[in-house]
Structure 1
């Protein structure tokens, strides 16, 4: 896809600010002539994540295995009803294809089109041609404004529902924790909300991630966990990291430490952001080791967006009652759509850091609970657009 213009980026930002998820496609001159467009990786991922279509499960042949989806092309003042064909041809290894019927009159070669899935209908919006600002913010109704408002309303509906449940929990006052551990607050809240405890990487409540924390502490907030890209790293496992930098603690051999881009820690470790080649490295002061693990910034950005598309950061007071920690949930900070370009800067400034939690257990097995990427407690406004604050009590 060609680089987006400043105007196109501004228009897409308007969609993002209104909780509209989308993917982009660029019809070339050849694509318009032949009525064929390649379903690029980002398009395939979007359609799969939206439960619209999975090309990986599709057989070859447009006539035998092709799928049609109800589609509407959004113009300034009207909608064009049409269909979109999703298929893999018999030729050329069955490369995934997509075509929006009736598209040609409404798109020029190399226009940027947004594809938006909503209520089992695909909406096609010409980002290059339509004036999003006047349509979405202006007076009067139009198809784009109505779609954005409806999607935003549905998004707020889930948030309002969750907020109501949290307020009901807060009315109980101090509730006992389920276990004696740092993770007790999260486990307790999820149980109270009826959320099954699992190891899924997906957000916790109908697309909203829950991050609860003890408000009396000044601990950093966990953003996400992400293992290194071992194929791009000198070291190939957490065990190798532990063997080189671990230490004895009682009966355990572990590496529990924080790594920053600002200063080296006691193990001689430091983060090294290389934005020009789009990689974050972890570096050892030992000349024989140097950069030993790597993460592509693309992977980190995708993980951040996946985990924190929408998040409730829930603060609680704590109190010991009969030697059991109790929680009073009292406040929520509601964030949406992190600004991924800020992530790299915050790494470089030491505001986002990395925690290793590696341990070799009695059976000799190495367990890594991270690496965890964490942000300083009062720095959410540096990573997210303006948030909403809600009192629960």
Structure 2
């Protein structure tokens, strides 16, 4: 897929802000002429995740083709279409997708968003439609209606929890139920009727509660994940350090950023293989080539584990007559990322990987990463933005 323009990124961001998950596809002039498009890895993953279609289970040939009800979204109307999902007998049965009437809706190299909602596919011309005007306009239109429905459905539980927190805050300062750093969270969970246990499950109907005293800050990032050594040429961080490390003062280390768009000074680059659903790290040394592999699906899982849905609840700590009280004041609500965007942002060089490997005194290697990072100005392309609520006091 070509590089997205800044305007296209801005349009995708407004969908992300509304918790609308899409996948992207780019029709070529040849594809439009022959009525055929490759179902890329991100498209296949999205359709599977949305329970629309799993190409892995599909046989080759026209007789195994399936069709899904679809619509093209225009400014003020929906136009009927049909999505054809199939694997031809030729070219190893590479998955294909086509929307009836697409040649009248899109031009070559337009960026199209595919949105699955209520078992129907909607096609959004990201390049041509003014998404900001359509979604923010006071007038009703099909896109705004779909987006608002998705947003409201995704926030039902959080609005319920916010109401309960407002009731707690309205009580004023409440006495801490124990003397400990964890008192601020324990006290709140008790007031909400949540059992205190060691379960790793979210605290309230899928939402994790993280309470803190206002004098303490939080830091949010993506995640660290070593390669799948069983599928990699190198079997440890120590081997990577030995091959690509360098001396800096007293340390022998490999501290570097790796992206999909340019080789770094160590000759390293990332490659996204959508066909086999892998992220691959490659060296320009001919005797090395590909040496580390991550499963894209596993990286999606790690991203969701790290950044699911959380209420970060700030409380003022007040000491009266030698006893601590909490006044719960503010909530920052973060939600899980749009995982279908993860692969695209890797391909665009917006998500990168940092190696942080250093040789230990014993001759081994200590690895603080690899850490997957996102450019700060692009966070809104992956995460719906956090919402901050002041609690009723």
Q: TM-score range by the shorter chain?
A: 0.5 to 0.7
With over 3 angstroms needed to count, the CA separation of the structure-2 counterparts of 1:382 and 1:140, relative to structure 1, is closer
User: Who is 2:286 aligned against?
Assistant: none
User: Who is 1:11 aligned against?
Assistant: 11
TM-score (norm 2): 0.61
Q: Provide Cα deviations, 1:333-388, integer angstroms capped at 9, x if missing partner.
A: 113559998xx99999xxx999xxxxxxxxxxxxx9x969799xxxx999664631
Q: Is the 8 A contact 1:77 1:142 kept in 2?
A: yes
Matching of residues 205-216 of structure 1 within 5 Å: 210=208, 212-215=210-213
User: Who is 1:272 aligned against?
Assistant: 256
Cα distance in 2 between the residues matched to 1:195 and 1:22: 37
With over 3 angstroms needed to count, the CA separation of the structure-2 counterparts of 1:108 and 1:39, relative to structure 1, is same
Matching of residues 228-307 of structure 1 within 5 Å: 228-229=226-227, 231=229, 236-237=235-236, 271-274=255-258, 276-277=262-263, 303-304=302-303, 307=306
Q: Is the 8 A contact 2:135 2:143 kept in 1?
A: yes
Q: Is the 8 A contact 1:204 1:210 kept in 2?
A: yes
User: Who is 2:35 aligned against?
Assistant: 35
Matching of residues 84-95 of structure 1 within 5 Å: 84-95=83-94
Matching of residues 1-393 of structure 1 within 5 Å: 1-64=1-64, 66-164=65-163, 210=208, 212-215=210-213, 218=216, 221=219, 223=221, 225-229=223-227, 231=229, 236-237=235-236, 271-274=255-258, 276-277=262-263, 303-304=302-303, 307-308=306-307, 310-315=309-314, 331-336=330-335, 385=385, 387-391=387-391
With over 3 angstroms needed to count, the CA separation of the structure-2 counterparts of 1:171 and 1:353, relative to structure 1, is farther
Q: Is the 8 A contact 2:333 2:386 kept in 1?
A: no
Q: Is the 8 A contact 1:225 1:373 kept in 2?
A: yes
How much does 1:114 deviate? 0.6
Partner of 1:111, secondary structure, is coil
Partner of 1:20, secondary structure, is coil
With over 3 angstroms needed to count, the CA separation of the structure-2 counterparts of 1:345 and 1:83, relative to structure 1, is closer
Cα distance in 1 between the residues matched to 2:92 and 2:223: 36
Q: How many corresponding residue pairs?
A: 327
Cα distance in 1 between the residues matched to 2:209 and 2:351: 20
Q: Is the 8 A contact 1:116 1:123 kept in 2?
A: yes
Q: Is the 8 A contact 1:212 1:316 kept in 2?
A: no
Q: CA RMSD in A?
A: 5.5
Q: Is the 8 A contact 1:136 1:144 kept in 2?
A: yes
With over 3 angstroms needed to count, the CA separation of the structure-2 counterparts of 1:94 and 1:301, relative to structure 1, is closer
Partner of 2:147, secondary structure, is helix
Q: Is the 8 A contact 1:37 1:98 kept in 2?
A: yes
Partner of 1:10, secondary structure, is helix
With over 3 angstroms needed to count, the CA separation of the structure-2 counterparts of 1:3 and 1:329, relative to structure 1, is same
Query: Can you give the 5+ residue segments of structure 1 that lack an aligned partner in the other structure?
Result: 242-263, 281-292, 320-325, 355-367
Cα distance in 1 between the residues matched to 2:224 and 2:100: 41
Q: Is the 8 A contact 1:222 1:374 kept in 2?
A: no
Cα distance in 2 between the residues matched to 1:353 and 1:185: 35
Q: Is the 8 A contact 1:222 1:372 kept in 2?
A: no
Q: Is the 8 A contact 2:328 2:391 kept in 1?
A: no
Q: Is the 8 A contact 2:225 2:371 kept in 1?
A: no
Q: Is the 8 A contact 2:39 2:96 kept in 1?
A: yes
Q: Is the 8 A contact 1:185 1:327 kept in 2?
A: no
